[in-house]
Amino acid sequence: MCGIIGCVGHHDDTLDVVLDGLETLEYRGYDSAGVALVDDSIDVQKKQGRLEALRTEIAKRDVTPTGDVGIGHTRWSTHGPPTDANAHPHTDEAGQVAVVHNGIIENYQSLRDELEAEGVTFTSDTDTEVIPHLFAAYLETDLSTELAFHRTLERIDGSYAIAAVVAGDDRIFATRNDSPLVLGIGENQYYLASDVPAFLEYTRDVVYLDDGDVAIIDADGWDVTDGDGESVDKEVSTVTWSAEQTGKSGYEHYMLKEINEQPTALRQGLSGRLDELAGDITVEELDDVGFPETVHFVACGTSYHAALYGVELFREVGVPAQAFLASEYATGPAPIPEDGLIVGVTQSGETADTLSALREAQGRGAKTLALTNVVGSTAARECDHALYIRSGPEIGVAATKTFSSQLTALNLLAETIADNTRGSRDLVLALRDVPSDIQQVLDETTAEAIVDEYVDNESFFFIGRGLHFPVALEGALKFKEITYEHAEGFASGELKHGPLALVTSNTPVFAIVTGNDERARKTIGNVKEVEARDAPVIAVTDGQSDVERYADHVLEIPETHQRTAPMLANVQLQLVAYHMANQLGRSIDKPRNLAKSVTVE
């Protein structure tokens, strides 16, 4: 993995289209980049490091690469370290075939052993390199290029999105299995990419490929077949957002832009789904979901924290629920309930671990629902139901507005499943007000000034109870993702069962305390525990309790419903992470070693 772009029909500016597409995909995370342009021969240029290094290397050349067909790739290392040799595209020995690939070829070692025994010399450590060598070997048997590509695909196992080109051929050959790939349909110009923003400047008409689809594009059009070469009818969809929405809009970082977009994102997610006068919640996508005996959430990372929040909501409305790390679900001991609902929480709808868990559940007869941001994503297409969070494009690797939108959508889901018609009027009004409440937090936050005092600390704790516990976990994750500093989230009552041994005067503790109920009072008791160890306390609070008495600093949020208070607290913690990372000079939008869409297991 991580980013693929291809185009045909651009003639003199093919290189610029490919490089600009890769630049748009930088948010996915990567450690090297490369391009291949095709005419009578294939011209490959690739380089370890950022895209700027590749552009610099190309600029040094006496002759700029040209061709009517181009493919490009940004790599996030899986097999072999980030080096020039391991960067994509990869070619066969004669340089007649070039390939870019996301995913993992699981049987690459046996294929490599076989090819090396036949005299083939490999130049990289990657699993990908077996693909161009196999493709070239089949071409040498006088098979048509299409059939040679199919024969190659028959030999490989694993997850992949592949784009391949052949010298002297003006087509791109592409396929996918468990890794996203989408076609862009223009006028005499056609594209393929791992994500729509790569070509959104040129077209918003797209075709989402399914597993097993084989696509061929050239300047005259596009064609999709199945594994047997039979034509497949594919629907052309129109993306509703524009290229401008993927820009920074004057903000220093995408992450800061997306934190500030949360009021708009939540309004989009709630639009048409709330009836304030009647106190109703109506979600058309959920009309026939029914009332499940139990709910299992499967998710990873930030989405897993949203799932933990969802578990609390479902238990409140009387539906037994559990959250599982998707990577552990299919192979773990927990039984998959045939009469239950399995909810995959995945921003991209392409997260490999989550897709595997959902497929395992479907294979055992369970009903599935994708809670996702991306219309047409694999999860949305494969699940029995899909609930879209409607956040719009999120470019920063560290999820922000999509997490808030997931929490909002989970409230809609829980209330809809609970009685299928009516929600709590108080909750409906609170959800209605969340966008303006978040705007107030954004306008009045003191997070930047507070983190100035703790920039030299090296360990940070985040604590909360009930619905605040998942937000504490998310606050810590966001902090460590972009600051590279140690941070941990805990259920407030668990500090005394071990983590308190780590608390010192150099361990700032962010405590989420809202309302004035028993949970708030118990959390204040935990705050006193860390205060007694001289740890600085930063309280995230609505002011209803007296936690301010024991805090060194306060991050205020408006008073609201107990279910929506965590959403407001979360925004303050996002700002804490952002401003600390900015103070430390970190790469906020592209944190090291991380990718936006994790499509390998």
Confidence of residue 107 (pLDDT cuts 50, 70, 90): very high
| Per-residue pLDDT tens over the stretch 307-319 | 999 999 999 888 9
Kindly state the average pLDDT of the residues 256-278: 90
- Asked if residue 89 has pLDDT above 60, the reply is yes
| Per-residue pLDDT tens over the stretch 112-163 | 999 999 999 999 999 999 999 999 999 999 899 999 999 999 999 988 999 9
| Per-residue pLDDT tens over the stretch 319-330 | 999 999 999 987
Quote the CA–CA distance of 307 and 314 in Å, as a whole number: 10
Confidence of residue 413 (pLDDT cuts 50, 70, 90): very high
Distance of CA 273 to the CA centre of its chain: 25
Which pTM value belongs to this model? 0.76
Residues written for the chain: 601
- Asked if residue 435 has pLDDT above 60, the reply is yes
How far CA 583 is from CA of 59, 257, 455, 579, in Å, comes to: 34, 17, 7, 6
Angle at 555 between CA 485 and CA 548, to 5 degrees: 115
Q: Which residues contact 173 (CB under 8 A, 6 or more apart)?
A: 145, 146, 149, 162, 163, 164, 165, 166, 214, 215, 216
Quote the CA–CA distance of 155 and 525 in Å, as a whole number: 61
Confidence of residue 441 (pLDDT cuts 50, 70, 90): very high
- Asked if residue 596 has pLDDT above 70, the reply is no
Say what the pLDDT of residue 145 is.
Answer: 95
Count the Cβ atoms, other than its own, within 10 Å of residue 339: 10
Say what the pLDDT of residue 364 is.
Answer: 87
Kindly state the average pLDDT of the residues 40-69: 89
Kindly state the average pLDDT of the residues 254-282: 89
Phi and psi angles of residue 236, each rounded to the nearest 5 degrees, phi first: -90, 120
- Asked if residue 601 has pLDDT above 70, the reply is no
525 with 532: CB under 8 angstroms?
no
Quote the CA–CA distance of 22 and 115 in Å, as a whole number: 31
Say what the pLDDT of residue 579 is.
Answer: 97
H-type alpha helices, 65-171: 108-117, 130-139, 145-155
Q: What residue ranges define each of the domains in the chain, with the CATH number in brackets? A: 2-244 (3.60.20.10), 247-437 (3.40.50.10490), 445-601 (3.40.50.10490)
Among 76-80, 207-211, 297-301, 533-537, top mean pLDDT goes to 297-301
| Per-residue pLDDT tens over the stretch 569-585 | 999 999 999 999 999 99
Please give the positions annotated as active site: 2, 596
- Asked if residue 169 has pLDDT above 50, the reply is yes
DSSP 42-89: EEEEEEES-HHHHHHHHHTSSS----SEEEEEEE--SSS-S-TTTSSP
Q: What is the SS3 string spanning 320-379?
A: CEEEEEHHHHCCCCCCCCCCCEEEEEECCCCCHHHHHHHHHHHHCCCEEEEEECCCCCHH
Sign of CA dihedral 584, 456, 28, 407: negative
Three-state DSSP class for residue 434:
helix
Confidence of residue 386 (pLDDT cuts 50, 70, 90): very high
- Mean pLDDT over the full length of the chain: 90
Lowest mean pLDDT among 28-32, 44-48, 311-315, 505-509: 28-32
Say what the pLDDT of residue 421 is.
Answer: 46
Confidence of residue 374 (pLDDT cuts 50, 70, 90): confident
